[in-house]
């Protein structure tokens, strides 16, 4: 787990001259690799920068890494962020088939050797989380890839001086500033953010900087552009299951593949812990991990406000599976003080309040361990979100004639905001492609028009979801929703906050559910084994019966919920008002309309909490990255007390 930067220039002289700028730009992401910060290398038209957070073969697997076959020992240079969990098996195969030689016990050499002997398709053989760059000094071409689900980030920018890649956008901003390139705000991406609560891939809020998408590999030649190819297509192909014997075989397959994934995710030369909430996902991971590390430590966070904490349930689970448990309680004052720094770490705004307690628990966990496991991805793969049951509740409306359904939609617009049933009526009048675009729906168009001065009715969520709905048009509604979430909500919100908040604290987070082998099993689960009228993730729950404590098995999880609805009426009201007033976003936002929203929320007229939070996060982001008026104090990387 590390931070990388790669620059493909137009000439060797330019690459060599850029090394100092690369080293300076890497300091922005020193938290991603405090063990070996600031490593740099240049060769041919390429300059690499690297910060290492060492996990495997700590003494030898340094980067940038040079490797090659015996006839060309330094042909390739690699920078690599992530972990390859099947590297031992793949390494043994390469040795047996091709006589591959390795100088370290790390996983980085396995990536380069696989590319050399198997070609670009080798990326599909990697089980892990990764973003890497390989420079072939013989062919003078750069090859790179990002993991199937988008666990690890990779930003890039094309320009007259070449193509730059980085694990964090901050490094690209600094590097391109040194090269005299001016960045501009992407207003389309801003509108998407205010609807979705995240900036969808491949966009960022800077027009010139994009992201390599999940499951994608690419080539770049000096003087050329990035040529991408999707290598991972996460399609669902449910099989039928009839009878108890077949059901039990399915549950056994799920348990077996998860056990194998957790075992491989435990591979490290440092201590591995686990996050633990009150739900089945993280509890299952922790329980399986306990089998491989009897001294496992688990971590959870919560708030003192009733209904917004799973601390007690998580503690009960920790006792039941026999692990030591650490709790971190977060106050509203701590949240307000930390938010500007957290937004700096994010690179682009994510208006998910849960990322704040995640930052605090990651900071606490780093005092005890260097790696944690977590349960991200289970909901998207196994059908865990309550919203996935909506097609069942709306099934009766499917029989209503189209004209009448349109009339229902018009009626819903006349119902006062906050009235029970208003949103149900509106959603029932819409086809799936119009009503579902992820778990968060912050601003509707009519609401956004009142606050966004640059609102463009040609921009909408269909820009983001249409390609994924198009390839799934023959699937059932629930599966289509899961498929859309894999390319939107999962990689735009869930994995961004997981990566950014843990790496901000120099802590590596691993997600065993998001493994290609786990997906193979999950993609074949019948719809009625995923979603029922009574529950979600039915097959996963059945598979975990002998692993997860009974009190968690069928409990609806809270995750890390944050009581901002209450706090924005009281403890956070003056703080929020101050951010709005001081923000220099008048060209973009109607601040008077936003202040009225805040007052309406305080007075209890309507719950605007999520919309206000999205605006506050953007205003802080704008203050940091555009205005330069918000300057959070960036701490040195946080080191553990004991490993």
- Residue 582 has which token pair? 């001081």
Do the strands 141-146 and 128-136 form a parallel or antiparallel pair, or are they unpaired? antiparallel
Distance in angstroms (rounded) separating the CA atoms of residues 411 and 15: 63
Cα dihedral 125→126→131→137 (10° resolution): -60
From 521, 558, 551, 555, select the one nearest 539 (Cα to Cα): 521
Catalytic positions, written as ranges: 2
From 2, 106, 102, select the one nearest 58 (Cα to Cα): 106
With b for 16 or more beta-carbon neighbours within 10 A and e for fewer, the 205-242 pattern comes to bbebbbbbbbbbbbbbebeeebebeebbebebebeebe
Question: Any binding-site annotation on 375?
Answer: yes
How many angstroms separate the Cα of 53 from the Cα of each of 2, 29, 80, 274? Answer: 5, 11, 11, 18
Do the strands 297-302 and 272-275 form a parallel or antiparallel pair, or are they unpaired? parallel
Asked if 65 contacts 75 with a C-beta cutoff of 8 angstroms, the reply is no
Complete DSSP assignment for 231-268: ------------HHHHHHHHHHHHHHHHHHHHHHHT--
Rg of the chain in Å (alpha carbons): 24
Query: Helices in 272-310 by DSSP H: which ranges?
Result: 280-292
Question: Any binding-site annotation on 374?
Answer: yes
Neighbours of 306 (CB within 10 A): 7
User: Which residues are documented as binding site for ATP?
Assistant: 374-375
User: Which residues are documented as binding site?
Assistant: 107, 374-375
User: Which residues are documented as binding site for L-glutamine?
Assistant: 107
């Amino acid at each position: 787990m590390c931070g990388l930067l790669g620059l493909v220039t137009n000439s060797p002289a330019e690459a060599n001259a850029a090394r100092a700028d690369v080293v300076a730009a890497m300091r922005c992401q020193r938290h991603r690799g405090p063990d070996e910060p600031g490593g740099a290398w240049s060769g041919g038209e390429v300059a690499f920068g690297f910060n290492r957070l060492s996990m495997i073969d700590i003494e030898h697997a340094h980067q940038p890494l040079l490797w090659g076959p015996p006839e060309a020992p330094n042909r390739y240079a690699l920078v690599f962020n992530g972990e390859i969990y099947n590297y031992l098996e793949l390494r043994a195969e390469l040795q047996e088939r091709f006589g591959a030689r390795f100088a370290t016990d790390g996983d980085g050499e396995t990536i380069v050797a696989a590319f050399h002997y198997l070609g670009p398709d080798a990326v599909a053989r990697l089980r892990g989380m990764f973003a890497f760059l390989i420079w072939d000094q013989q062919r003078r071409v750069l090859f790179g890839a990002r993991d199937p689900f988008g666990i690890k980030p990779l930003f890039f920018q094309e320009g007259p001086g070449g193509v730059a890649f980085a694990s964090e956008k901050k490094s690209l901003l600094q590097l391109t500033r040194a090269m005299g390139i001016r960045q501009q705000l992407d207003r389309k991406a801003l509108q998407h953010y205010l609807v979705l609560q995240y900036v969808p891939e491949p966009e960022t809020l800077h027009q010139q900087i994009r992201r390599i998408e999940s499951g994608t590999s690419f080539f770049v030649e000096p003087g050329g552009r990035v040529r991408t190819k999707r290598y991972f297509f996460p399609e669902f192909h449910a099989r039928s299951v009839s009878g108890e014997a077949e059901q039990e075989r399915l549950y056994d397959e799920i348990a077996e593949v998860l056990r194998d994934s957790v075992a491989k995710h435990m591979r490290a030369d440092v201590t591995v812990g686990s996050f633990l909430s009150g739900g089945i996902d993280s509890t299952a991971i922790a329980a399986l991990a306990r089998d491989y590390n009897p001294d496992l430590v688990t971590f959870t966070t919560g708030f003192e406000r009733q209904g917004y904490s799973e601390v007690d349930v998580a503690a009960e689970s920790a006792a039941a599976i026999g692990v030591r448990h650490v709790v971190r309680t977060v106050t509203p004052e701590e949240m307000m003080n930390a938010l500007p720094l957290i937004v700096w770490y994010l690179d682009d705004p994510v208006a998910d309040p849960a990322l704040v307690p995640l930052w605090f628990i990651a900071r606490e966990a780093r005092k005890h361990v260097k790696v944690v496991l977590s349960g991200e991805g289970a909901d998207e793969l196994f059908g865990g979100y309550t919203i996935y049951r909506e097609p069942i509740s709306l099934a009766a409306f499917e029989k209503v004639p189209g004209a009448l359904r349109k009339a229902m939609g018009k009626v819903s617009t006349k119902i006062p905001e906050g009235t029970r049933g208003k949103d149900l009526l509106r959603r029932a009048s819409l086809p799936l492609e119009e009503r579902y675009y992820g778990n968060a729906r912050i601003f509707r168009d009519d609401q956004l028009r009142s606050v966004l001065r640059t609102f463009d009715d040609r921009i909408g969520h269909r820009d983001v979801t249409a390609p994924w709905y198009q390839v799934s048009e023959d699937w059932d509604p629930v599966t289509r929703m899961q498929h859309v979430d894999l390319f939107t909500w999962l990689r735009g919100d869930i994995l961004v906050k997981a990566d950014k908040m843990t790496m901000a604290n120099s802590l590596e987070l691993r997600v065993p559910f998001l493994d290609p082998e786990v997906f193979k099993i999950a993609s074949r689960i019948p719809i009625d084994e995923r979603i029922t009228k009574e529950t979600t993730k039915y097959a996963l729950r059945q598979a975990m019966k002998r692993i997860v404590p009974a009190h968690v098995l069928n409990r609806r999880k809270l995750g890390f919920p944050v009581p901002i609805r209450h706090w924005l009426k009281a403890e956070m009201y003056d703080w929020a008002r101050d951010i709005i007033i001081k923000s220099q976003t008048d060209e973009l936002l109607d601040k008077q309309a936003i202040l009225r929203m805040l007052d309406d929320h305080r007075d209890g007229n309507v719950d605007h909490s999520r919309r206000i939070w999205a605006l506050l996060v953007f205003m802080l982001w704008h203050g940091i990255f555009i205005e330069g008026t918000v300057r959070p104090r960036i701490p040195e990387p946080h080191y553990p007390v004991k490993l």
